[in-house]
Amino acid sequence: MHELGHAFFCLTAGVRIYKMRLFQFGRTAGYVVHDEPTKFYQGFLISIGPLIANSLFALFAFAQFNFSLNDWRPWAWLYFGLAVGLHAIPSDGDAEALLHLANRRIFKNPLVIIGYPFVLLLYVFYWLKKFHLDWVYVILLFWLGNIFLKK
């Protein structure tokens, strides 16, 4: 789902995708190889794509959960919400790609300087994953989805 978030925002921003691997064994579970974004907003959308896509899916999945011992389907929604929500925070590679893009675009468009705090936030969120911030984030998504978005 993380890579689908990147791919969706590549398509939305008009950036061509060359190759995509959704799952593989090894250091990198998946990847999307795409053109270099020509505008900073394209790179920004592609970098935060997993945060948006995974969070929305997790909210939807958590809204489907009802505690029941007689039905397995709510538990499947809970599992999918957890699995997808835990991968919502962009990777350090996503932050690094956005930082390099900002550095290359700063002289062409000085307004790119506004994007540097977002790059810093991506790095901070990724660093905080070491302290299980992703679990705190998923619990927040569960609370929002299960309490406020209940069908």
Q: What is the pLDDT of residues 13-66, one digit of tens each?
A: 999 999 988 887 877 778 888 998 888 889 889 988 999 999 999 999 999 888
> The tokens 């810093």 sit on which residue?
120
Q: In whole angstroms, what is the distance from residue 9 CA to residue 44 CA?
A: 9
On whether residue 54 sits in a domain, the answer given is yes
Q: How many domains does the chain have?
A: 1
Q: Name which of 72, 138, 124, 74 is nearest 94 in CA terms.
A: 124
Distances (CA, A) of 137 to 51, 96, 129, 141: 11, 22, 10, 6
Task: Identify the domain containing residue 60 by its residue range.
Answer: 43-148
On whether residue 47 sits in a domain, the answer given is yes
Give the per-residue pLDDT at 151: 58
Has residue 116 got a pLDDT over 80? Answer: yes
